[in-house]
Structure 1
Amino acid sequence: MPVKYIVFSLSLFVSICGVAQKKESSKEATQIKAKEQFKNISLVKDSIYVLKNRGGNIGLSIGKDGIYMIDSQFENISEENLEAIRLLSDKPIRLLVNTHHHGDHTGGNDAFKMTGAMVIAHDNVTNRLQRSKKQQAGSKRNEQLEAAREKIREKVSKAELEADPKKYERMAEEAAGDLTSYMEDVANVPTITFEKALEFNFNEKIDLIHVQRAHTDGDVIVHFTESNVIHTGDVFFAGRYPYIDLNSRGSVDGAITALGVIANLADEQTLIIPGHGDISTKQDVKASLGMLRYLRDTVAFEMAKKKRSKEEIMAMRSITSKYDQQGFGDGFITTEKMLETLYLDYLQKHNITEDSMD
């Protein structure tokens, strides 16, 4: 055999071995992470578990019908989460419910759909995920369009461009391609959506309840009626100030109503999986409900009667001190951010522009 073919064969062999070793190394790394993640899976009650990692709490119901999953966290940790679940049970993951659209709850949808899971969510979750995909595609296409224009400017004289600008813009548009060609796989978009509520049997009777304009405009509470367990999504942050996403049509009033719904569903034995934080009880939810009600009403009074500015509201630590001492401001939403949200929510509720408050 000629030397050059021997060299080529050896190079190819080394290359293939290198790729195989990388894949094996990656697989081993995932398995190691999965074993670490397995330690973060806790039994809630009966056959219901919670998996904590980066992102929102994942709920798991394991039974005769397979695995029912709540939220999927981030895309880049979905593989280790999947392997961790496999260490708990080899049953198929058949259903995955998204409690809302944020990436720390929906990012892993693609990976779990690939295993055969059917994704369920509120109508607005699908709408927001699709809109986000379209915006990302638009940004990518705009980059390519500008690159195409630049190439045309390099090859065509200024006089030619000025003589027929529409012609060269059409050329750039054709070179950039259609928007749909930039749309990424929409596998993270839910398969089944609903508007108000959904009831079905999977391992046990499960109720999905939409709460309007709370954390977002697509929030869902999951109620395991027989096990007496509730997964709240980000409507409830255990022992922390809530994140109310005003840009996603969340609202303070809606968040208060949603906490009331959870409190009414629960009894003294109910175990509650929050969107973030530790397993909680009805009393924990009622404490958050009382806190949010008090802060909303106090800020509303200060703004309506005393015409407080944004800076003044955000500096009013006297009204939050009781909750700050309990650690409510130690989470993702700080005390300052909570007060700012209350201020902005008041403006939105009363159709007041921020400029008019100056």
Structure 2
Amino acid sequence: MGSPNSLSRRGFCLCCVGGATFAASAGWLTPREAYAEARGLVSLIKDSAAISPITASRLRNNISVLEGSGGNIAVLTGSDGKLLVDAGIRVSRAQLTNALAGLGTDPVTHLVNTHWHFDHADGNEWLHSAGAKIIAHENTRKHLLGVQRVEDWDYNFLPLGPGGIPSEVFAGSHKLGLNGASISLKYFGPAHTDSDVSVTFVEANIVHVGDTFWNGIYPFIDYSTGGSIDGMIAACDANLAATDKDTIIIPGHGKPVSNKAELQAFRDMLVAIRDNVARLKAQGRTWDETVAAKPTAAFDAQWGQFVIDPGFFTRLVYQGV
């Protein structure tokens, strides 16, 4: 990894585009220094989550989306209790508690993790203590049970306490009935990680696709726990096939209310950059030479303005082609 890479810290790092902002840091750093900084980047994300406001957008059929703590969180309300899709970061507990209260007095009874990453599962323990049964893919449980290293962040995540570990896991698919809604959970296979699932609210025609879709920004792909660029594209294809022009799509990061057209644009961007990088790699270009060739240039103005900058995204794709 010892090659130069610039990192812009615009927005809320890996978390919310609309959250607290940090000044951009200039200069050239290795991916190890820039993207991980050991505890540095993760600490920045947590520090920002501790003070970032949470905003709610009401969708339809008693479903809302919350933005401001880690990934975008979907909430289904009703007399059976609130179901959350993703838990955010635990230091946001006060803000998230207030945001949930604003959606009604029903207690939290269910939580689905779309995958294991801390900005989606770090709040598991306190939500379980508030009454949530935690449901996830079996690989999410596996990763949360032990120390998990993310090499590209140069960071070792400690296991969650017993209350934060999903008590109900599945391998391929799972169905729930809650508050009059039919809820379908489906495993993608290796994509952003090896633990990603989608959560579809059937009658409402709303789907939370987790970090297989970053709306308007280059995504992180976690090769340390089974992610791949081809898997990300396959997940997009699966979601495009399962949605229509009226489907509300909730991405893991970026603008929290999206649609099929924006998902299609994300998928087309991934394919074009994968093909550009694969062509350069097949020509024998090194990692640095491929970055220097700017294979993302046509997309940088729209997609490259977040923490995953063009150089780092090129390196992620290079690993997988």
| Equivalent position SS for 1:51 | strand
Q: What's the offset of the Cα at 1:133?
A: 8.0
Matched, 1:280 2:258: yes
- What residue number does 1:218 align with? 195
Does residue 116 (structure 1) correspond to residue 94 (structure 2)? The answer is no
Match of 2:306 among 331, 336, 358: 331
Matches of 1:200 and 1:296, distance apart in 2? 36
Once residues 267 and 244 of structure 1 are traced to their aligned partners in structure 2, the CA distance between those partners, rounded to angstroms, is 26
Q: Who is 1:189 aligned against?
A: 165
Structure 1 Cα separation of the partners of residues 160 and 249 of structure 2 = 36
SS at match of 2:193: coil
CA distance in structure 1 between the partners assigned to 2:90 and 2:166 by the alignment: 15
Q: Which residue of 2 aligns with 1:206?
A: 183
3-state SS in 2 of match to 1:187: helix
Can you list the C-alpha shifts for 1:190-242, whole angstroms capped at 9, x where unaligned? 11100000012112011101011100000011111110011011110001111
Q: In the alignment, is the contact (CA less than 8 A) between 1:122 and 1:194 conserved in 2?
A: yes
Aligned 8 A contact 1:133 1:184 in 2: no
The within-5 A match list for 1:65-104 is 65-104=80-119
- Of residues 42-51 and 93-102 in structure 1, the stretch that sits farther from structure 2 once superposed is 42-51
Q: What's the CA shift string for 1:167-190, capped at 9, x where partnerless?
A: xxxxxxxxxxxxxxx987321111
Q: How far is the alpha carbon of 1:297 from its aligned partner?
A: 1.5
| Counterparts of 1:258 and 1:276, CA distance in 2 | 16
CA contact (8 A) 2:187 2:198 kept: yes
1:237 aligns to 2:214 (yes or no): yes
Quote the Cα distance in structure 1 between the aligned partners of 2:177 and 2:126: 24
Identity across the alignment (%): 34
User: Counting helix residues as a fraction of each chain, which structure ranks higher?
Assistant: 1
Asked if 2 retains the 8 angstrom alpha-carbon contact of 1:79 and 1:111, the reply is no
Instruction: Look up the SS of the partner of 2:215 in the other structure.
Output: coil
Q: Give the Å deviation of 1:285.
A: 0.6
Residue aligned with 1:221, SS: strand
Q: 1:268–1:282: 8 Å Cα contact kept in structure 2?
A: yes
- Which letter does structure 1 place at the counterpart of 2:75? L
**CA offsets per residue over residues 4-33 of structure 1, 9 Å max, x none?**
xxxxxxxxxxxxxxxxxxxxxxxxxxxxx9
Residue 126, structure 1, aligned to residue 126, structure 2: no
Aligned in 2, Cα 1:207/1:315: closer, same or farther, shift over 3 Å? same
2:268 corresponds to = 290
TM-score, normalisation: structure 1: 0.70
* Alpha-carbon distance in 1 for matches of 2:304, 2:159: 39
SS of residue matched to 2:320: helix
Q: CA deviation at 1:54?
A: 3.2
Alpha-carbon deviation of 1:248?
Answer: 1.1
Q: Distance in 2 between matches of 1:257 and 1:117?
A: 31
The residue that corresponds to 1:57 in the other structure is: 72
Do the aligned residues in 1 keep the contact of 2:145 with 2:159 (CA within 8 Å)?
Answer: no
TM-score (norm 2): 0.78
Q: Point out where structure 2 has 5 or more consecutive residues left out of the alignment.
A: 1-48, 150-157
RMSD: 2.2
Q: Secondary structure at the match of 1:336?
A: helix
3-state secondary structure, aligned to 2:102: helix
Give the counterpart letter for 2:320 in structure 1. D
Cα distance in 2, alignment partners of residues 192 and 259 from structure 1: 26
Distance 2:246 2:308 in 1: 29
Assess if the C-alpha contact under 8 Å between 2:147 and 2:159 holds in 1.
no
Q: Between the two structures, name the one with larger relative contact order (CA 8 Å, sep ≥ 6).
A: 2
- The alpha-carbon deviation at position 83 of structure 1 amounts to 2.6
Aligned residue in 1 for 2:35: none
Contact 1:95-1:117 at 8 Å conserved across structures: yes
Q: Distance in 2 between matches of 1:286 and 1:133?
A: 32
Would you identify which runs of 4 or more consecutive aligned residues in structure 1 move more than 4 Å?
Answer: none
Of residues 221, 225, 228 in structure 2, which corresponds to 1:248?
A: 225
Cα distance, 1:275 vs. partner? 0.3
The aligned residue for residue 107 of structure 1 is 122
| Greater Rg by CA | 1
Deviation at 1:37, TM superposition (A): 4.1
**Deviation digits for residues 90-141 of structure 1 (CA, Å, limit 9, x no counterpart):** 101111000000111001111110111100000001100111289xxxxxxx
Aligned partner of 2:287 in structure 1 is 310
**What is the aligned counterpart of 2:297 among 321, 342, 351?**
321
The change in CA–CA distance for 1:89 and 1:291 in structure 2 (over 3 A counts) is same
User: What's the CA shift for 1:77?
Assistant: 1.1
| Structure 1 residues without counterparts, runs of 5 or longer | 1-32, 135-181, 347-358
Amino acid paired to 1:200: L
- How many residue pairs end up in the alignment? 263
Distance 1:183 1:325 in 2: 38
